[in-house]
Structure 1
Amino acid sequence: MLHWERGTVVELRAGWAGVTRLLVRLEDIDQTVKALAYPELTGSPGMGESVLLNTNALRRDLGTGGEALVVARPEAQQEPQQIDGHMVKARYTPMQTMVDAIDDPASEHYETLRSADGLDGMPVVVADLHSSLPAVVAGIRADAPAARIAYVHTDAAALPAAYSATAAALRAEGLLEATISAGQSFGGDLEAVTVHSALLGARHVVGADVAVVIQGPGNLGTGTGWGFSGVQAAEAVHAAHVLGGTPIAALRVSSADPRERHRGLSHHSATMFGRATLAPLLLPVLPTDDPQYSEFHASVAEQVESTIMGVGRERGVEHHNIALRSEGLRAALDVLPVKLSTMGRGLDEDPEAFLYAALAGRCAAGLTTQR
């Protein structure tokens, strides 16, 4: 069931591209709440305007930014945006929206997508946590500063690509060439019906040297072996493989997570890249002669060998352990114009979480210079 509440906009807060943020005074109780609107869906509410809010997550105190969501502006008169194509996303929900997808017959890119049949070896970095995105980008930029990077936003978590303030900031700083929203997600610079067509669009429409595929903010986990939204990353690996790309795993690693199943190599990485993946992967880890190498990193390497590479060999899939040094990566992470945070921990609290994502970016950068 949806939890509806009505209110009046009393303040306009700082937002970002694709997102309007507000303070709303509720009608039925004496309370002011933070709220968020997607102009693509509702337009931008103004001061003094009446709005209808969905407060489900807010009232349950879930980790969704602590904001209600604007679902309607009862008094607004708004002309619908002209859409040439016929693609619908968030299909059959009350908020379904029309988009111009690159693989729609009405798209200017349609013939390009029709004739595209491969990725030409393009490296594709795959991760499960959205917080890995800026660290992956930092790793790429550290070694290939001119690389064109496309981010494929999948539909496992936040459907609106605009919800990612991180991706918006990376785009604004010129560190990402484009965001492509794939599947049921929407609101990217480009839209695609599947991860496959998004990857083809990254290569042949955006002209990307590297694609990064990650779900949006809002990873859902249950503590069970298979019940986490990031498991969808395995399908991104398969898509990259069948299209002739080079899949690279951004391993989820932590030395600070209080949950044992996520310390060292997370069980999520072991499951999605080990048990769920049926295509070969590159697995970036630290070499033994790296100045940062320690017992912790040795343990991670052992976990990668036993839970991913070993499982792959049992199934006839040969993954490749890629040893990459860490020099320069901390500096690249330090100068990023976006905040690094994963599960509430920053770079100083959990440096390994960002180091392994940056190693995946470094691995991709090396492949761009070889093509």
Structure 2
Amino acid sequence: MRWRRGRVTATGRTWGDALELTVEVPQDGAVRALAHPSVVGTPQVGDEVLLNTTAWAQRLGTGGYALVVAVPDRLPPDPEVAGHLVKARYTGLQVTVQGVDEQDTPHHRTIADADDVDGMPVVVADLHSALPAVLAGVHAESRELRVAYVMTDGGALPAAFSRTLDALAGTLAGVVTTGQAFGGDLEAVSVHTGLLAARHVLHADVTVVTQGPGNLGTGTPWGFSGVAAGDACNAVTVLGGLPVGALRISDADPRPRHRGVSHHSLTAFGRVALGGVTLVAPLGLSPELAGQVEEDLAGQPERNPVVWVDTQGLDDALAASPVTLSTMGRGLAEERAYFLAAAAAGRYAARSVRPA
């Protein structure tokens, strides 16, 4: 960790349990910082704060903030809710939360007795940025469907880091944070109990699974955090759900490995999801890109059926999203194919919901 001590000179945007700050740091000058008040308290102008400036110094994209570790002169009160699930375990900022699957909650018996998700369609995507587009696709098909979000721990651990989730508040049936991720409406130990909670506690018709904001990739075939999308598909299969793959498609990404169908999708779905996953490709792409997508998907195993879904009305649905759509710094205009693919997966999932 790159430690710094500084003084808050201004407060900025707030969303959910997140507060932007400007902190004057002797070695670095004015630093853009972020605090999660439920963890460290609420810094005010003039407060001295301890910072982890590692990501800020690396000028990372999604996570390029200095993070407030403590406000030493004004510690937050002890939490009121007792829980037994420790997340961000054995780090200096581990938190204790009440899990939907632990014994002292009203939902324990529900989760303990549940063994499947009743055929619920679950859209699995590599990147967090796909979430609002998937939701747009579901609701373009039916506004009545309840959509839950299960956040895995491959990216950001605090759900509060996501401005997307803040903008979607009231639109989702709820957020379940799993593994080491925390801060959702419900907390779960694993993706499996997260899916069961989405179905049997939040009563979701469709669930979306992605990692939190921020994707770790190394330019190697297996070294990317989104490989866990394949593991999530396996969890859906084991629990009797319908795994639906939202493909990462692009004709704008400058990196060859992500053009057409990204190698992330081909690896996670084609090689990790051993129980099979329905891969949704969107109609309405340019002929050149559609041909590339068809070629990229030709090598998928038989367990992964490829379905081309109509996209009529999805461009309007994406444009109307309450979230400003952006992936890797590119918006809807530049990455239409990416967001259209996610919306098509949402539409397919909505059409796959079993009648009550």
Does TM, scored on the shorter chain, surpass 0.5? Answer: yes
Alignment partner, residue 37 of structure 1: 35
Q: Secondary structure at the match of 1:217?
A: coil
Equivalent-residue separation in structure 2 for 1:156 and 1:325 (angstroms): 31
Q: Does residue 299 of the first structure (1) align with residue 295 of the second (2)?
A: no
Q: Secondary structure at the match of 2:187?
A: strand
Equivalent-residue separation in structure 2 for 1:151 and 1:334 (angstroms): 21
> How far did 1:65 drift?
4.1
How big is each residue's C-alpha offset from its partner over 1:179-221, in whole Å with a ceiling of 9 and x where there is no partner?
1100000011110000000000000000101110000111011
Equivalent-residue separation in structure 2 for 1:68 and 1:365 (angstroms): 40
Distance change in 2, residues 1:131/1:30 (3 Å): closer
Q: Secondary structure at the match of 1:274?
A: helix
Distance change in 2, residues 1:333/1:369 (3 Å): farther
Of 213, 223, 241 in structure 1, the residue corresponding to residue 237 of structure 2 is 241
**Retained in 2: the 8 A contact 1:4–1:52?**
yes
Of 315, 320, 325 in structure 2, the residue corresponding to residue 340 of structure 1 is 325
**Retained in 2: the 8 A contact 1:143–1:365?**
yes
How big is each residue's C-alpha offset from its partner over 1:242-287, in whole Å with a ceiling of 9 and x where there is no partner?
001100000010011111111001111111111112012111124x
**Retained in 2: the 8 A contact 1:127–1:214?**
yes
> How far did 1:61 drift?
1.4
How big is each residue's C-alpha offset from its partner over 1:115-135, in whole Å with a ceiling of 9 and x where there is no partner?
111100000000111111111
Of 279, 285, 288 in structure 2, the residue corresponding to residue 283 of structure 1 is 279
Of 243, 255, 258 in structure 1, the residue corresponding to residue 254 of structure 2 is 258
Alignment partner, residue 104 of structure 1: 102
**Retained in 2: the 8 A contact 1:250–1:356?**
yes
Alignment partner, residue 15 of structure 2: 16
> How far did 1:77 drift?
3.7
User: Structure 2: which 5+ runs fail to align?
Assistant: none
Mapping of residues 312-327 of structure 1, within 5 Å: 312-313=301-302, 318-327=303-312
What's the Cα RMSD here? 1.4
**Retained in 2: the 8 A contact 1:57–1:64?**
no
The size of the alignment, in residue pairs, is: 356
Alignment partner, residue 6 of structure 1: 5
Distance change in 2, residues 1:292/1:77 (3 Å): closer
TM (normalized to structure 2)?
Answer: 0.97
**Retained in 2: the 8 A contact 1:253–1:266?**
yes
> How far did 1:291 drift?
5.2
AA aligned opposite 1:107:
T
User: Structure 1: which 5+ runs fail to align?
Assistant: none
Equivalent-residue separation in structure 1 for 2:284 and 2:192 (angstroms): 39
Distance change in 2, residues 1:232/1:189 (3 Å): same
TM (normalized to structure 1)?
Answer: 0.93
Q: Does residue 194 of the first structure (1) align with residue 190 of the second (2)?
A: yes
Percent same amino acid at aligned positions?
51
> How far did 1:82 drift?
2.3
AA aligned opposite 2:329:
G
**Retained in 2: the 8 A contact 1:91–1:184?**
yes
> How far did 1:292 drift?
4.5
How big is each residue's C-alpha offset from its partner over 1:286-342, in whole Å with a ceiling of 9 and x where there is no partner?
4xxx55562321220221121x2xxx23xxxx2222221110000000000111111
> How far did 1:141 drift?
0.7
**Retained in 1: the 8 A contact 2:58–2:64?**
no
Q: Secondary structure at the match of 2:166?
A: helix
> How far did 1:370 drift?
4.4
